[in-house]
Amino acid sequence: MLSRVFGFSRRPFDSLSEQEILALAISSEEDDGRIYRAYAAGLRDSFPQSAKVFDDMADEEDRHRTALIEAHRRRFGDTIPLIRREHVRGYYERKPDWLVRPLGIEKVRAAAEDMEEQAHRFYMEAAKRTTDASTRKLLGDLAAAEQGHQSLARQLGLTHTPESVKDDERQTERRQRILTYIQPGLAGLMDGSVSTLAPIFAAAFATQDTWQTFLVGLSASVGAGISMGFTEAAHDDGKLSGRGSPVKRGLASGIMTAIGGLGHALPYLIPHFWTATTVAIAVVFVELWAIAFIQNRYMDTPFLRAAFQVVLGGSLVFAAGVLIGNA
């Protein structure tokens, strides 16, 4: 286990023979081609023009791989040693597409440019270690190609994704982010912040016991979070509505619901009742205005209307809790 973590079982790059360097280059080009095709497949439904960019980049990697295989066949025969980037100490790593794709289209383009830069550095070092003239020329040509294509994603984007298309893609990505994360999270935050006001402050003024009040707030917040999370995940699978993964929406809604309630429950960990209550009321004030801001920022709700709805509703629930607690 430790040998894998610290790279003791890996070969130093300087120890590779010329045949192993060619084999490493071939496997790297194969992996990069697969990654680009995975990017294209992941983007095709929502961003078809950008998917073409990565299709073209995968074709470019295939041409590099073919040239490298021909060089290996000419010098060393048809049997290519099995050596991959994870076998070489200090060699660059690639993030799998499932780690990059959720980060958004701009992050995927940036990842592609990093891949080209890393490949350029590899070919430069590989060319220095090669004595065969034709192989060295091939590696040098590939280094130059990778250097020229460090901005290949951007250059191909000019062909397939002009600014008008990029604007559309950014709007599509923003809309999907709102539907999958922000809208369910906002609904959860509103429910958690507002619905727990009455039980928490009713318990506070009825008992004037900060620990008991905290337990009521904790149970109400966690219970509401679980309920909202399951409800959001279960009522819509996202296939027809286009709202995205029900698991992601359920987590966003459930977590934000719990946070909304815990915000004004946590102050009751303070032993002094009136100090805890003052802090809790201040937190409620911040929560309600934060909800109004998010509605205005992401849901295009006029700020004054959002503030009126949220603050008025929250104030009514807060007043109900105080009245019940003092009854």
**276 and 182 belong to one structural domain:** yes
Last residue of a domain, one of 137, 161, 185: 161
**77 and 190 belong to one structural domain:** no
Task: Tell me if 244 sits within 8 A of 296, measured CB to CB.
Answer: no
Give the Cα separation of 310 and 288 in Å (integer). 6
Give the Cα separation of 228 and 187 in Å (integer). 9
- Residue 44 belongs to domain with CATH number: 1.20.1260.10
**8 and 134 belong to one structural domain:** yes
**148 and 221 belong to one structural domain:** no
User: In this prediction, what percent of the chain has a pLDDT beyond 70?
Assistant: 79
**141 and 253 belong to one structural domain:** no
Please determine, for residue 301, whether its predicted confidence score (pLDDT) is greater than 50: yes
Last residue of a domain, one of 112, 136, 161: 161
Average pLDDT, the chain: 78
Q: What pTM was estimated for this model as a whole? A: 0.49
Q: Per residue in 208-235, pLDDT tens? A: 898 998 999 899 888 888 888 888 887 7
**67 and 139 belong to one structural domain:** yes
Place of tokens 């891949």: 115
Q: How confident is the model at residue 66 (pLDDT cuts 50, 70, 90)?
A: very high
What end-to-end distance do the CA atoms of the chain give, in Å? 64
What's the domain count of the chain?
2
Q: Per residue in 91-148, pLDDT tens? A: 666 666 554 554 466 677 777 777 777 788 888 888 888 888 888 888 888 887 776 6
Give the Cα separation of 192 and 318 in Å (integer). 13
Last residue of a domain, one of 161, 183, 202: 161
**300 and 321 belong to one structural domain:** yes
Give the Cα separation of 220 and 266 in Å (integer). 12
Task: Tell me if 68 sits within 8 A of 135, measured CB to CB.
Answer: no
**281 and 153 belong to one structural domain:** no
pLDDT (average), residues 63-79: 90
Q: Per residue in 2-48, pLDDT tens? A: 344 344 567 887 788 888 889 988 988 888 888 888 888 877 877 78
Range of the domain at 302: 167-325
